[in-house]
Amino acid sequence: MIKFVRVYKAFPSGSLALRDLSFHVAKGEFLFLTGHSGAGKSTVLRLIYAEHLPTQGEVRISGFNTAKLNRREVSQLRRRLGIVFQDFRLLEDRTAEDNVAFALEVTGAKRSVIAPKVMRVLAQVGLTAKAHQYSNELSGGEQQRVAIARALVNDPFVLLADEPTGNLDERATRGVFRLLRDINANGTAVLMATHDLDLVRHANYRTMELQDGALVFDSKVDQQAMKKGTA
Amino acid sequence: MSLAFREAFLAFRRWPALSMLSVTTIAFALFVASLYGLVALNLRRALQNIEERVEIVMYITRGTPVEVITLALDDIEAFPEVARAAYITADEALQRAQRELVEFQGIFSEFDTNPLPASIEVRLLPGFRTSEKVGAVAERLGSFNFVDDVQYGDDWLAKLDRLRNIGAVVGLMIGGAFALASIIIIGTTIRMAVLQRSREIAIMRLVGATDSFIRRPFLVEGCIKGALGGLAALGLCYAAYAAVHRLLFQAEFFSTQQMILVVAIGTGLGFLASATSVAKHLRQI
Ligand SMILES: Nc1ncnc2c1ncn2[C@@H]1O[C@H](COP(=O)(O)OP(=O)(O)O)[C@@H](O)[C@H]1O
Ligand SMILES: [Mg+2]
């Protein structure tokens, strides 16, 4: 579903953000992407939503090579992805409801379709009561829930989360993480970049670690290797 | 489309100061340009009034039969350059002279016979009032054998020509400079509006908005700002015109079509400025 084939990403500044990265994310999988700051986690996510293109190698999303997409097709791709950031990226002077509705409006959805869908995802993230509050009046955890609701409203096949708990206290972190697990349990793949190793250790999900842009650990591959080794 | 309008109005509500600034700069840019247009318009009218007086006078040999002149009048009026030709008899000429040259009334009454010749006054159509064309017509008129002399103000016609040419060149240059300045000013203010909303644009792109979808509210906004600026510019122009008209001299204001044109130009400039600003911004992200 998401496939990196020998991907290199160099920036004009000369820094090599990713080197020879290959991996595959299956449908409905939960994947942690870990590594120090500057390891290349965000770059991986940006390559998935086609904000960047690989310098070398291929990034394939549902079979489409992102390098071959035109701008319009990139927009279409993003409607099938849910994206969440550490800094929420909400429109502050709009209500929670409007922020979520916004993601549907840009697809040209009808008003009659938008309202029930928005209410449904707001209920899913537990914010029905705060639908009419402006996003800058909400707590960090609530803002991230709004962002997640916005990411979910287009029924994405994968949720990309770049350090979604990076700005949150412990309580809010646990709440948001539980939400992501629920979303994954409902069948949506989740790809979460984080350097919160506590979170990673307590959940038994596939984990990939990047170091200076290179993949140094992939629990899935290592487990398979271990199985092979013991067999 | 209704979404684009809603977003555009939302932008006015959210950034009233910046929106007002855009409208005001557009208004002033258009005000200066259209004020110049108004001056040009009035100068052209004045020039036309002077041109109206371009006239060729054919002095007729004494004793020419009236029938010959009447026939010639038809011929002359058939010239493609000629608007009309009028026969002034010697008596009429005398009466006119006595009426118009009051100081010399005594002199005229001393003559036993009328010293003034009969004449034909020829007025030309608007396109033929340059010294070159008037000269050519005058030459042809001079070839009628009953004509003693042909006169037209060739020296001041040449001056009029020069005035017209200078007017056209200067007008084109100043007008072009104003138009260019307006476009740059409007482009800058719209660019500020776009930058102000770059966060919003980034979020729109993130959730999968297409470029045309992102562009639309900005284009609507640009058109509205341009139209408002155009209307404000007209208001300012009218104030300036009214002051000049009342205090200095009689002037003319724009016709309805010209007023519509000013607003349309404002709208068009607003549209163009936002289209280029947004396109430039979208190319960078
Ligand atoms: N737009 C960019 N231009 C230049 N260098 C970049 C850009 N984005 C990321 N980098 C570089 O790529 C490397 C990986 O960055 P990033 O993917 O943001 O790491 P992480 O998210 O793991 O902290 C860093 O060295 C960073 O400086
Ligand atoms: Mg990062």
Q: Would you write out chain A's pLDDT as a tens digit for each of its 231 residues? A: 999 999 999 999 989 999 999 999 999 999 999 999 999 999 999 999 999 999 999 999 999 999 999 999 999 999 999 999 999 999 988 999 999 999 999 888 888 999 999 999 999 999 999 999 999 999 999 999 999 999 999 999 999 999 999 999 999 999 999 999 999 999 999 999 998 999 999 889 999 999 999 999 999 887 777 666 654
Most confident of A49-53, B23-27, B134-138: A49-53
Instruction: Tell if the CB–CB gap between A93 and B14 is shorter than 8 Å.
Output: yes
CATH of B55-151, one of 3.30.70.3040, 3.40.120.10, 1.20.1730.10, 3.30.710.10: 3.30.70.3040
Assign A17 to helix, strand or coil.
strand
Query: What residue of B is the nearest CA neighbor of A150?
Result: B207
Beta bridge partners of B51: none
Local confidence band at B270 (pLDDT 50, 70, 90 cut-offs): confident
- Choosing from A15, A37, A191 the residue with most ligand 1 atoms within 8 A of its CB, the one to mutate for a pocket test is A15
User: Choosing among B206, B211, B213, which should be mutated to test the A contact, i.e. which has the most A CBs within 10 A?
Assistant: B206
Q: Of A143, A47, A59, which Cα lies nearest the Cα of A95?
A: A143
**Considering only CB atoms, which chain B residues are within 8 Å of A91?**
200, 203
Q: What percent of chain B has pLDDT over 70?
A: 99
Q: Could you give the CA distance from residue B140 to residue B125 in angstroms, rounded to a whole number?
A: 16
Radius of gyration in angstroms for the set of CA atoms belonging to chain B, rounded to a whole number: 30
Structure token pair of residue B176 = 């072009």
Given the cut 0.95, state whether the ipTM is greater than it. Answer: no
CA B26 to chain centre: 22
Q: What crossing angle do the helices spanning A170-185 and A140-152 adopt, rounded to 10°? A: 20
Q: Could you give the CA distance from residue A152 to residue B143 in angstroms, rounded to a whole number?
A: 94
Q: Could you give the CA distance from residue A32 to residue A199 in angstroms, rounded to a whole number?
A: 10
Give A7-32 pLDDT, tens digit per residue: 999 999 989 999 999 999 999 999 99
Does residue B168 register a pLDDT over 80? no
Local confidence band at B207 (pLDDT 50, 70, 90 cut-offs): very high
Size of interface A-B (CB pairs under 8 A): 45
- Rounded (to 5) percent helix, strand, coil in chain B: 75, 10, 15
Specify the higher pLDDT residue, B1 or B27. Answer: B27
Altogether, the residues listed in chain A come to a count of 231
Write down the pLDDT at residue A230.
54
Torsion of the alpha carbons at A98, A103, A109 and A114, rounded to the nearest 10: -40
Give B214-257 pLDDT, tens digit per residue: 999 889 988 998 999 999 999 999 999 998 888 888 788 999 99
Q: Could you tell me the pTM of the whole model?
A: 0.76
**Considering only CB atoms, which chain B residues are within 8 Å of A83?**
206-207
CA angle B146, B148, B150 (to 5 degrees): 110
Residue A209 beta carbon below 6 angstroms from any ligand 1 atom:
no
Structure token pair of residue B131 = 């010294």
Write down the pLDDT at residue B246.
84
Q: Which atom of ligand 1 is nearest to the CA of A210?
A: 22
**Domain extents for chain B?**
2-49+161-284, 55-151
Name the closest ligand to CA A43. Answer: 1
CA A69 to chain centre: 20
Cβ-based interface (< 8 Å): residues of B facing A: 3, 14, 199-200, 202-211, 213
Q: Could you give the CA distance from residue B7 to residue B221 in angstroms, rounded to a whole number?
A: 9
Q: Could you give the CA distance from residue A178 to residue A180 in angstroms, rounded to a whole number?
A: 5
Local confidence band at B191 (pLDDT 50, 70, 90 cut-offs): confident
Q: Could you give the CA distance from residue B38 to residue B44 in angstroms, rounded to a whole number?
A: 10
Whole-number Cα distances in Å, B95 to A115, A123, B151: 91, 101, 20
Delineate the domains of chain A, giving CATH numbers in brackets: 1-80+196-231 (3.40.50.300)
The neighbour count for residue A154, using CB atoms within 10 Å, is: 20
Structure token pair of residue A217 = 């650990």
